[in-house]
Amino acid sequence: MLNYLINKTKITLLLLAFISMITTSGFCQADTTIIISKIVNMEVPENIEFSQAFEESTFIIYVDYQIENPTNDSVLISCCSTPIYRLKIDVLLAEEELNITSLIGENPIDFSINFEPGFISVNTSFRFVLKPYIKTYLPEGNYTFWIDLLECCTGNFSLIPLKSFMNITEEEIFISHETDGGIHTFDRITVRDTSFYLIAMILSIPILSIFSKRKKNKI
């Protein structure tokens, strides 16, 4: 049964990649320079903090990506702020409906860049917030990641984002990239979420012990 589910998951990831490539190919325009963004490697996201008060959890993901200009023409890209590249996330969960907010990544770059033919490689990290969610591990479901430009960026170009997919099951995590078509498998380590109620309960143990000793001494 487990092998059947794993094979089904792999087929789903490959179909998602194929459909995405067909969809993004429609973004090209003949009179613009084609720019391709692609994630070539990414790690399983890690939780870095959560807030009971705001009902949110923040995760960090380490990503290697490339921005490629496969044409013979240079293109000037101008943006309103920096960094100009950001991580976009889409998610389909089995049971929960969450709001996911991508935070600005690291590695600032100039507001304008004259992108020559070739590619640039970036190794960086991005943070994103899930809300309402106060657990230290990601929920089961299908996640899609891609590198995009800020909405305010202008220039004579068409961006084609190649996507990466992460499927989280009860037992394992599967990651695949449109750049290579391979599927990387990781064991899922479920970390029990720690709430303020649990912390309060742990701290109360030595206090109760002290009171219990005092009562015995009085007797």
pLDDT digits (tens, 9 = 90+) for 54-93: 999 999 999 999 999 999 999 999 988 878 889 999 999 8
Q: In the prediction, which pLDDT does 76 show? A: 92
Question: pLDDT per residue over 14-33, tens digit each?
Answer: 444 444 444 444 444 446 89
Contacts 24+ apart (CB under 8 A), 18-26: 20/144, 20/162, 20/163, 20/178, 21/162, 21/178, 24/160, 24/161, 24/162, 24/163, 25/160
Q: In the prediction, which pLDDT does 84 show? A: 83
Give the pTM.
0.72
Strand intervals (E) in 94-182: 99-102, 112-115, 118-131, 141-149, 157-162, 164-168, 172-177
Confidence of residue 203 (pLDDT cuts 50, 70, 90): very low
CA 185 to chain centre: 16
Residue 145 has pLDDT above 70, yes or no: yes
